[in-house]
Amino acid sequence: MNIINLLKIATKALSNNKTRGFLTMLGIIIGVASVITMLAIGQGAKKGIQSQISEMGSNLIMIQPGGDMMRGGVRQSSASMESLKLTDYESIVNENRYLTAVSPLVNTSGQVIVGANNKATTIYGVNQDYLKINNFSIEDGDMFTDHDIQSAAKVCVIGKTVVDELFTNGENPVGQTIRFKQIPFKVVGVLQSKGFNSMGMDRDDVILAPYTTIQKRVLAITHLHGINVSVIKEEYSELAMNELSGILRQNHKLKPGDPDDFTLRSMEEISSMMNTVTTMLTILLGSVAGISLLVGGIGIMNIMYVSVTERTREIGLRMSIGARGIDILSQFLIESILISVTGGAIGILLGFAISWIVSMFVTSSVQLWSVVLSFAVCTVTGVFFGWYPAKKASQLDPIEAIRYE
C-alpha cells in the first residue's frame, strides 16, 4: 500500500472523529505555544539586559574602594574603606594607555528643594568625562567647566525626573537655584532623558555636580567613593583592568601577595554574569513549558490505544484481504504524526500571537531556533508516542481481530 493511500485512510479516520482529534491536538498546541512564548520571554529579557548594559557603557570599568581586606578578623566593606584618593585618579589619567575617559566619583543622597517642592534624590560629584563614560548628553544648557571644578563651584546638571518634580509649572530650570541639604546649587544644564533601566532604576533621577564641590562643601571628605573609566575598545577591557590594578597597587604600596584594597568591575564581566543568569532562566522556562509537550504526547498515545481498540475488526479485515503488518503500522503511525504535526503548526501560530501580545507589556523575542526546535520535538513526539499503539495494531491476529466485539 503506497503512502498516498495511507495518508487518505489516516485523514479520513481523523475526520470521522474531529472533536476527539482536536482535543488530542490541544495538548500539542498548548505545549508548542508555551515553549515558543516562554523562550521568547527569556530571550527578550536577555536582549533587554544587554541593551541596558550597552546604554550604561559597554566599555565601562568601575573602581571601588575595598577588596578582600581583613582588619581584626573582620572583612571590610567598600562603604567603610577610604582607599581611593585623588592621587589615584590623577595617576590613572597620566599613566593609562587603554582609556578614553576617567571620572572620579563621590555621591550622597538627600532632599533637594525648590520653593514648596522637594524630593529625595542622589547627587553625584563627577567631572565632564562622566557624561561620555555613561552615555549621557546635555539637552538644555551646558555641562559645568574645569574652572567650576577647580573652584568647587556650587553648580549642577539635573535629570528629567528632578526637573518634572521640582519645576512643576513648566519653567526652564537652567539658571534657577536648587537647594541640596541647605546648600544652594545653580542649575547650568539639563540631561537628556534616559528612562528606566532593566533593574527598574530611574536614570533621570540624578544630579551631577563637580566632585570637588561634593567633597568640600557637602561631605567634607578627601577620599573618593569610586572612579569610573571608559576603555578605548571592549576587547581591551582585560588589559585595562590589569593596567589599573598595577597603577593602584603601586600607589597604595601593596606588596606581592597583599590583597587588593580596591575592587575592579567591568561591564563585560557584569554582562557575562547576567547572560548566564538569563540563559539559565530561559532553559528553566523552556523546560517547564516542555512538560506540556510531554503531556500532549501521552495524550496521543492514549487516543491511539483507544483508536486501535475501536478499529480492531477493521484491522482484521484489512489484514485478511492482504494488508501487511507494516501497512497497519504505517497507517496508525501516520495518524499519530498528522495529529502532532497539525497541532504543532497551530501551536506555532498561537505561540507567535501570544508572544506578540506579551511584547506589549514586557520585552519578548521569538527566535527561529525555538520554532524549529518546537516543531521538531512535536514531530518526534508523534512518532515516539504513536509507535507502540501502531506496533500493537500491526501484530494483531487477523482471525482474532475479526471476531473482536
User: Averaged in consecutive runs of 10 residues, what is the pLDDT profile of the chain (405 residues)?
Assistant: 66 71 80 83 74 65 73 46 88 92 94 91 94 90 95 95 90 93 94 75 90 94 93 85 92 88 78 72 74 76 72 70 72 78 86 85 77 79 72 68 57
Residue 14's pLDDT is what?
Answer: 67
**Rounded CA separation 226/264 (Å):** 10
Give, for 53, the enclosing helix (H) or strand (E): helix 18-57
Predicted local distance difference test score (pLDDT) of residue 58: 55
Whole-angstrom distance, CA of residue 315 vs CA of residue 329: 10
If phi over 0 gives left and psi between -120 and 50 gives alpha, with beta otherwise, what is residue 175? left
Q: What is the pTM of this model?
A: 0.61
pLDDT computed for residue 10 by the predictor? 66
CA 346 to chain centre: 28
Measured in whole angstroms, how far is the alpha carbon of residue 35 from the centre of its chain?
Answer: 17
Number of alpha carbons in the 13 Å side-chain half-sphere of residue 11: 7
Helix runs in 216-311, H state only: 237-251, 267-310
Amino acid 74: pLDDT: 45
Residue 357: the pLDDT is 87
Task: State the pLDDT at residue 291.
Answer: 78
| CA separation for the pair 380, 385 (Å, rounded) | 8
What pLDDT score was predicted for residue 200? 64
Computed over its alpha carbons, how large is the radius of gyration of the chain? 34
- Rounded to 5 degrees, φ, ψ at 178 are -115, 160
Instruction: Decide the pairing of beta strands 117-126 and 177-180.
Output: unpaired
pLDDT for residue 43: 77
Q: Which three cell numbers stand for residue 171?
A: 519653567
What is the Cα–Cα distance from 355 to 250, expressed in whole angstroms?
A: 54
